[in-house]
């Protein structure tokens, strides 16, 4: 897989790599907040169907360029999370911006004042549209599960980065 | 570069909707290259809002 970085677009980091190689991820996949496209392209290479979403047009262009570079076909949409998609996906993958905005006020890094707001919005939408989701959470701004009803979750991977813990979380509907 | 990798597949219309009212989107003013949509606009059948498609990427942000 070849991935080119693009100006203003989140460069693949340890949290991106945590999203790769999740064994069960197969089928009809949504890569939300796709950035360079690294996560979705990884699963596209394995023969899955992947649709890419990002709110930032520079990221959407960047993903498209990386798809061309890898000679792969995936659809790219500029959208605010899942607000403009319908239907149900087997897996939704979201490496969100999760830092508090007073520390990092940039769209690819900050997830709101506390930092977890974008993730909360995603999970509320994902309940309807995603059979299973995988999201990244930081110990700096953990997800407040009290705001999210009817979804079960478990930590399935983690890495420590200085004083911060980055967790990969599997999320599914409690009543399947 | 092979064109088939570059633009929007018309099948995508089945899984996208108006982000504001969730209505169906209709393709207008489209420029098609080898069966794929290079540019055009998507108009909501329900509320009439328009969303551009440029370089094969639909921009579905409300404005």
A55 vs A64, B24, B52, CA distance in Å? 14, 20, 14
Print the SS3 string covering chain B.
CCHHHCCECHHHHHHECCCCCCCCEEEEEEEEECCEEEEEEEEECCCCCEEEEECCEEECCCC
**Could you tell me whether strands A75-78 and A89-94 are parallel, antiparallel, or unpaired per DSSP bridges?**
unpaired
Determine the structural domain holding residue A45 and report its residue range. Answer: 14-152
Q: What is the pTM of this model?
A: 0.93
A104 in any annotated domain = yes
Give me the residue spans of the domains in chain B: 10-57
Distance from CA of A161 to the nearest CA of B (A): 34
- Residue-wise pLDDT tens digits, A124-138: 999 999 999 999 999
Among the partner-chain residues B1, B4, B16, the one whose CB lies closest to the CB of A84 is B16
How far apart are alpha carbons A59 and A77 in whole angstroms? 10
Q: What is the ipTM of this complex?
A: 0.93
A170 in any annotated domain = no
A25 in any annotated domain = yes
- Residue-wise pLDDT tens digits, A34-74: 999 999 999 999 999 999 999 999 999 999 999 999 999 99
Q: What is the CATH number of the domain that holds A35?
A: 3.40.50.150
- Say what the pLDDT of residue A105 is: 61
Residues of A in contact with B39 (CB under 8 A): none
A114 in any annotated domain = yes
- Say what the pLDDT of residue A103 is: 64
Q: In a mutagenesis test of the A interface, which of B2, B5, B6, B35 is the best target, namely the one with the most A β-carbons within 10 Å?
A: B5
- Does B31 reach chain A within 8 Å, measured CB to CB? no
pLDDT score of A108 more than 80:
no
The count of domains in chain A is 1
Buried b (16+ CB within 10 A) or exposed e, A113-150: ebbbbbbbbbbebbbebbebbbbbbbebbbbeeeebee
- Does B63 reach chain A within 8 Å, measured CB to CB? no
A47 vs A3, A29, A94, CA distance in Å? 18, 11, 20
């Amino acid at each position: 897989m070849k991935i080119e970085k693009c100006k203003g677009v989140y460069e693949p980091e340890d949290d991106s790599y945590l999203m790769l190689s999740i064994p069960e991820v197969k089928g009809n996949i949504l890569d939300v907040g796709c950035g360079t496209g690294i996560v979705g392209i990884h699963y596209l290479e394995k023969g899955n169907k992947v649709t890419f979403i990002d709110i930032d047009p520079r990221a959407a262009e960047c993903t498209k360029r990386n798809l061309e570079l890898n000679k792969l076909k995936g659809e790219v949409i500029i959208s605010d999370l899942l607000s403009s998609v319908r239907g149900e996906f087997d897996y939704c993958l979201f490496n969100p911006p999760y830092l508090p905005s007073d520390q990092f006020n940039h769209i690819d890094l900050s997830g709101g004042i506390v930092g977890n707001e974008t993730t909360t919005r995603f999970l509320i939408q994902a309940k309807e549209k995603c059979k299973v989701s995988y999201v990244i959470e930081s110990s700096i701004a953990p997800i407040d599960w009290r705001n999210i009803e009817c979804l079960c979750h478990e930590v399935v991977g983690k890495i420590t980065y200085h004083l911060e813990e980055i967790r990969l979380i599997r999320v599914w509907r409690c009543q399947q | 570069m092979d064109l088939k990798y570059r633009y929007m597949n018309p099948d995508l219309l089945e899984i996208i909707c108006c982000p504001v009212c969730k209505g169906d989107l209709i393709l207008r003013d489209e420029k098609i290259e080898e069966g794929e949509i290079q540019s055009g606009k998507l108009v909501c059948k329900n509320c009439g809002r328009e969303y551009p498609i440029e370089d094969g990427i639909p921009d579905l942000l409300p404005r």
